[in-house]
């Protein structure tokens, strides 16, 4: 019996010694320097695409605003052309095509700036030389000076009919006889004072071909 017990003890003792201590591996962590380097790399990797995306949004917004401003300026030019043609059809000639009888553009003359609402078909002088901002009518989806959301776009129109190449001038470069009118439409917007100006000389061709 004592020998059997001795064998069992030896086996049990052997099992105890078999337990490996190598299973308890030492787990290492990041050092502070490694953490800072990894964080820096991550920030650089994220900041680059975000900066490019931001610049793209800014550029897209600026391009959109420039297109809108250009269309608003051209809208004013076309309205003045329409007013001159309408007055001419009504029988006016020379300088009279700017003052009536159908459309009176006198508020845009003599150094004044005016605002033209092509939707409501109205022309008015900007008080103190300062025009109101154009608003966006969300119900009808059009630009106007009535009620709506302020767009931040400001439009000024002026007509010069008394310069060297204007109506009544027979100097070099002028058509003379009240046939040529210079129209300037300036649209400004934004805190940085961005602006677009479209200028056009409108010629009353009826006076030229049918004096």
Residue 187, pLDDT above cutoff 90: yes
pLDDT digits (tens, 9 = 90+) for 113-135: 999 999 999 999 998 888 999 99
Q: Does residue 4 fall inside a structural domain?
A: no
Q: Which domain holds residue 44?
A: 36-209
**pLDDT for 69:** 95
* Its pTM surpasses 0.85: no
Structural domains in the chain (count): 1
Q: SS3 letters for the chain?
A: CHHHHHHHHHHHHHHHHHCCCCCCCCCCCCCHHHHHHHHHHHHHHHHHHHHHHHHHHHHHHHHHHHHHHHHHHHHHHHHHHHHHHHHHHCCCCHHHHHCCCCCCCHHHCCCCCEEEECCCCEEEECHHHCCCEEEEECCCCEEECCCCEEEEEEEEEEEECCCCCCCCCCCCCCCCCCCEEEEEEEEEECCCCEEEEEEEEEECHHHHHCC
Q: Does residue 95 fall inside a structural domain?
A: yes
Q: How confident is the model at residue 32 (pLDDT cuts 50, 70, 90)?
A: confident
Q: Does residue 172 fall inside a structural domain?
A: yes
As a whole-number percent, the residues of the chain with pLDDT over 70 amount to: 72
**pLDDT for 136:** 94
């Amino acid at each position: 019996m004592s020998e059997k017990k001795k064998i069992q003890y030896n086996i049990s003792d052997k099992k105890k010694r078999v337990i490996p201590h190598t299973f308890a591996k030492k787990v290492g962590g990041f050092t502070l320097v490694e953490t800072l380097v990894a964080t820096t790399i991550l920030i650089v990797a994220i900041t680059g695409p975000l900066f490019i995306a931001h610049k793209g949004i800014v550029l897209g917004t600026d391009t959109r605003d420039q297109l809108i401003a250009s269309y608003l300026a051209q809208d004013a030019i076309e309205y003045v052309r329409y007013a001159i043609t309408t007055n001419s059809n009504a029988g006016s000639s020379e300088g009279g095509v700017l003052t009536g009888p159908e459309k009176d553009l006198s508020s845009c003359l003599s150094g004044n700036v005016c605002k033209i609402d092509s939707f409501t078909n109205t022309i008015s002088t900007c008080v103190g030389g300062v025009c109101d901002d154009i608003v966006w009518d969300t119900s009808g989806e059009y630009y106007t000076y009535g009620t709506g959301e302020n767009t931040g776009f400001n439009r000024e129109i002026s007509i010069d009919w008394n310069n060297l190449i204007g109506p009544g001038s027979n100097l070099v470069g002028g058509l003379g006889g009240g046939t040529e009118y210079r129209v300037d439409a300036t649209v400004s917007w934004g805190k940085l004072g961005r602006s677009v100006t479209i200028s056009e000389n409108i010629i009353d061709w009826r006076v030229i071909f049918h004096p």
